[in-house]
Structure 1
Amino acid sequence: MRMVFGLVLLVGIALAGGAVYLAKGQIGQYKSAIERAEAAKAKLVPTETVYVAERGLKYGEKLTREDVRAVDFPITAIPEGAFMEEALLFPENTQELRVILRQMEKNEVILAVKITEPGEDTGLTSRLERGMRAFTIKVDVSSGVSGFLRPGDKVDVYWTGRVNVGGKNSRSDVTKLIEAGVKLIAIDQSAGGTVSEAVIARTVTVAVDPNQVAALAQAQSTGNLSLSLVGAGDDTIASAIEVDQRSLLGIADEAVQAEAAKERVCTIRTRRGAEVLEIPIPCTN
């Protein structure tokens, strides 16, 4: 009887030890899973709700609630002007819709600069900042950068004409930078910037202040204007540039040597017998 009791006790102890071992293993796995979850959570980037385009949107289209959707976007990567509340994108106090100003692709973040205010027109007036004016420049295939200009690009404007360089009849051809980094807001009658291929424009419209308008109008009426496209990421400002024919060809200016004025001498002639003499006298006039 004692042997049976002892055997049962040993079996019970063995079972208890196995149970403890198994429980310890399970607890260890549970702790490892918790640690992995905490590590993964630490790597998660905080997000914020942002509205993006549900489909491709083109210039001039009206923006509806069906055209947008909310997504979680990393807070550190949210661009300036993004809409994070539907009430801001579609105000409840008006039934007027916003209009697309710039083409957007599917899943692109809706930005304030790419759409109008509710009910606002998409004309050039919506593209002009306070104090700026629209001015149209005539261009052709050579002066218009071979048709590669797009609304939103920036250009330098050069004037070529004839100026007086010295005397009244001395004129020289000159090319001079008159405006730098001017923003284009329309090509011909298009302000959307959705053209996918080069188009030879006849006019471009730029956004300038009133003083620049006067300068460009004067330059356009007295010579020829040419545009030079500025790179998208170029934030430099071109300095004063002026080139004439002589500097272009490397011809040095000829020094004009003024002849020394000769001293004026006045004389009278007198005859002494057969000899004629010249006698100097003070000049009276």
Structure 2
Amino acid sequence: MRLVFAIVLLAGLGLAGFAVFMTKDFIAASQAQLAIERATHAPAIATRPVLVATRDLRYGERLTEADIREVSFPEDAIPVGAFESRDALFPAGTDTPRSVLRAMSVNEPMLASKLTEPGVEAGVSARLSPGKRAFAIRVDVSSGVSGFLRPGDRVDVYWTGQIGQQGDVTKLIQAGVKLVAIDQSADEDVSEAVVARTVTVEATPRDVAALAQAQSTGTLALSLVGVEDDTIAEMIEVDQRELLGLAQEERRAEIEPAKTCSIRTRRGSEVVDMPIPCTN
């Protein structure tokens, strides 16, 4: 009896093991087939190499070959201005490096807008657009928007001075002028407020002459323009009379009432005024 029980037990264990083996083999075959199906029907994505940063980079640092590596990017997702080869990034060789204009994080693509030209140090000259010049404006806490200005912001420039007998006048002379430096710093990533003594703006040579003339004949004040503000400010001029509402009163005083002439005649006990043409 025990022998029969042992034989039945062994037979059961053998059948169970065989079933597990067959099930495992079936699952493995199914997974392999599924992987083949996914690979066959997976969309083909075209990629190209793009240079990215291997470490955090800060303003003013010189870029070296150790700071970059290649990463495959989908062709339709490559940022504008990205470098796709080391020869494009260092056209004159690594002995003529670029400098960092904007801070970059690890694995961030190298962009032309965040780097200087080869061999150029990070500074005001590297930020000037073609045909533009840098001009320094003296400011203080009130005229410099309480120290909330930073490179890259846009400002409207107002002039206050005297014009002949008109007295003190405040006039908008430049609108949407770009700041390229605060004091001696051209770093756009500075976030804390700094009460500057000078700000450097980007302007055409003619606008530089106008700003120089305005600064020497009066005082300049800056008004910060919003980041997304694309409106064009109209030319504004306000004098003291207009500010206090005196101009309108003076115009009213200049209008004299029309002169009338009359003679008095007595009609009995009544005196009557009769209008007549004025002779003088």
Same fold (TM over 0.5): yes
> 1:177-216, aligned counterparts within 5 Å?
177-216=172-211
Equivalence for 1:257: 255
Count of residue pairs brought into register by the alignment: 233
Give the letter aligned to residue 70 of structure 1: E
Equivalence for 1:238: 233
Give the letter aligned to residue 89 of structure 1: L
> 1:73-222, aligned counterparts within 5 Å?
73-91=73-91, 93=93, 95-164=95-164, 169=165, 171-222=166-217
Q: Choose the corresponding residue for 2:224, options 223, 229, 237.
A: 229
- In the alignment, structure 1 segments of 5+ residues that lack a partner are 1-24, 262-285
CA contact (8 A) 1:103 1:192 kept: no
CA contact (8 A) 2:136 2:199 kept: yes
CA contact (8 A) 2:60 2:121 kept: no
96-105 vs 71-80, greater mean Cα deviation: 71-80
- In the alignment, structure 2 segments of 5+ residues that lack a partner are 1-26, 260-280
1:204 Cα deviation from its structure 2 partner: 0.4
Give distance in 1, aligned partners of 2:36 and 2:242: 77
1:73 Cα deviation from its structure 2 partner: 2.4
Q: TM-score normalized by structure 2?
A: 0.72
In structure 2, the CA distance between the partners of 1:204 and 1:37, relative to structure 1 (3 Å rule), is same
Give the letter aligned to residue 119 of structure 2: G
CA contact (8 A) 1:174 1:243 kept: yes
CA contact (8 A) 1:186 1:206 kept: yes
Give the letter aligned to residue 257 of structure 1: I
Give distance in 1, aligned partners of 2:196 and 2:150: 10
In structure 2, the CA distance between the partners of 1:27 and 1:119, relative to structure 1 (3 Å rule), is closer
1:62 Cα deviation from its structure 2 partner: 0.8
Give distance in 1, aligned partners of 2:190 and 2:89: 27
Give the letter aligned to residue 143 of structure 2: S
Give distance in 2, aligned partners of 1:82 and 1:180: 32
Q: Secondary structure at the match of 1:182?
A: strand
Greater share of helix: 2
CA contact (8 A) 2:87 2:93 kept: no
In structure 2, the CA distance between the partners of 1:203 and 1:92, relative to structure 1 (3 Å rule), is closer
State, as a whole percentage, how many aligned pairs show the same letter: 59
Give distance in 2, aligned partners of 1:77 and 1:234: 28
Q: TM-score normalized by structure 1?
A: 0.71
Deviations 1:209-268 (A, max 9, x none): 11101111111112221111222233322222223334434452423236999xxxxxxx
1:139 Cα deviation from its structure 2 partner: 0.6
1:157 Cα deviation from its structure 2 partner: 0.9
Give distance in 2, aligned partners of 1:236 and 1:47: 40
Deviations 1:144-196 (A, max 9, x none): 111121112111111122324xxxx4x33322211111111111011123323
